[in-house]
Amino acid sequence: MTVEIGKQIKKFRQEQGISQQELADYLNISRQTISKWELGKSLPDLENVVRLSEYFKISVDVLLGRKKPGFFRGLFDGKERRQSQMEQNKEEKNVTAFYSAYAQDIRPLFLEEKRVNTFIKIEEEIFPKATFSKMMGYANCLCRFNNETVSIDQIGTFKLAVNIPVEQQIASFPLTDIVEINLQFGKYFRNVGGNFVTLIDIVTKDQSFYFWVESLNVAHAIWHHELFSSVQISINEVFQKALELENEEAAVEAIRDNGENIPLFYGQGNDGVRS
């Protein structure tokens, strides 16, 4: 499979007029890694196999060389389609997933108004309820609300297929500097079976920070926690009714029950629509 997938990566990259560097930039890896894949000297991991198939708009089976793409699919998966996708991504940069876990420095992402995957910590409670990990794919950003202060820190840097722990402050400001917190939800089909995420926009007097969190409970915590009692929180009326429920699990279930009103945030759903 090593040789076959390397050939497929090179084939679809060249057919769509993409350089090794452009593909490397998209995956946040080195150009040399792409070269090694194409030469059959190493294999992409499962996460990158999925991201490659989505980037080339082909199935994983096709990328692995298990079957040939249909004639019409191959005909329309060229430069024009890739250019159209790039333009769409530029227009929707604040509603598409951005994996900060693959970035060595996340500070520029906030300056570019990218939406960053993060852990949220409200006093001693953390969302999602998971142990920090240096393994690839986990958020390497931490946004903390404590003692009426907000701090945003980079807690990992992507090197050699893992997140190496670091401690680097991105921003720190009083909670009173927040003009508004905007809460939204999205469908997330990165994992088998899919999931829902909370999109959190923190708007301050000087800058806005765009986050996404693999948790619905965090929205309920923000809505009810006394730290945010004086902060303006904006949310769709349908989901506001859900968050107003005192019981956290009941609120989360009510949000899930309104899944038809939640737009696709990342991945591919059963209807074949991609973010």
Per domain, the residue ranges of the chain are 5-68, 105-231
What integer pLDDT is reported at residue 87 of this predicted model? 47
- Per the CB < 8 A criterion, the answer to whether 234 and 196 are in contact is no
* CB-CB neighbours of 202 under 10 Å: 22
237's CB contacts (< 8 A; 6+ apart) are none
- Angstrom CA distances, 36 to 3, 44, 208, stand at 10, 10, 39
Phi-psi region of 90 (alpha: psi -120 to 50; beta: other; left: phi over 0): alpha
196 burial (CB, 10 Å; 0-12 / 13-18 / 19+) is middle
pLDDT surpasses 70 at 271: no
What integer pLDDT is reported at residue 161 of this predicted model? 57
CA atoms of 209 and 150, how far apart (whole Å): 12
Phi–psi pair at 140, nearest 5 degrees: -115, 25
75-127 residue pLDDT tens: 334 444 444 444 444 444 444 455 666 677 888 888 888 889 899 999 999 99
What integer pLDDT is reported at residue 160 of this predicted model? 60
Mean pLDDT, residues 53-67 taken together? 77
What integer pLDDT is reported at residue 51 of this predicted model? 85
In CATH, what is the architecture of 105-231? Roll (2.30)
Instruction: Quote the percentage of the chain above a pLDDT of 90.
Output: 35
The closest of 257, 254, 193 to 223, measured between CA atoms, is 254
The closest of 96, 267, 119 to 192, measured between CA atoms, is 267
What integer pLDDT is reported at residue 82 of this predicted model? 46
**Residue position matching structure tokens 């509603």:** 95
Which one is the CATH code of 5-68: 1.10.260.40, 3.40.50.720, 3.40.50.1820, 3.60.21.10? 1.10.260.40
**How big is the CA angle at 80 (ends 63 and 13), to the nearest 5 degrees?**
30
Give residue 66's pLDDT band: very low, low, confident or very high (50, 70, 90): low
Tell me what the pLDDT averaged over the chain comes to: 79
Most confident of 59-73, 100-114, 153-167: 100-114
The closest of 83, 8, 104 to 49, measured between CA atoms, is 8
Whole-prediction pTM value? 0.63
